[in-house]
Amino acid sequence: MQTATVAAHEKHRAMSAVTMHRQISAGSVQGGLFWATRRAKKATVVKQRTMNAQQRSEQRANLAQIQAIRRANGSRLGPLRGIPALGPGAVVQGLSHLDRARLDLDTNRTRGMSR
């Protein structure tokens, strides 16, 4: 039952593609190609969404790094002189530009952020 409705739907989509896009009026094969590429694009979008899970985990690791730095500095981000690795001019990898501004490694002080 459902497969028949799906087939009818696909046929309607192919027909509307041929009518809408006059340049694909070379026959049903090219119309089918149009929808195949359309479907492939949608599939790649879904794939991209699953790949963002890896980026999310990387982000979580970066956040953990930031929180570790903050914990070492006390509840409020005070001077960083206690950590030798984070001296003035130190390069902290994996931090966003906002967190770099918050750390403000060049002057060893916070930039007016109380957090």
- Whether 75 shows a pLDDT value over 50: the answer reads no
Contact 73, 108 (CB under 8 A): no
The full set of domain ranges for the chain reads 1-54, 73-115
Q: At 60, is the pLDDT very low, low, confident or very high (cuts 50, 70, 90)?
A: confident
CA–CA distance, 17 with 41 (Å, rounded to integer): 16
0.85 exceeded by pTM: no
Start-end of H helices in the chain: 2-20, 28-72, 97-103
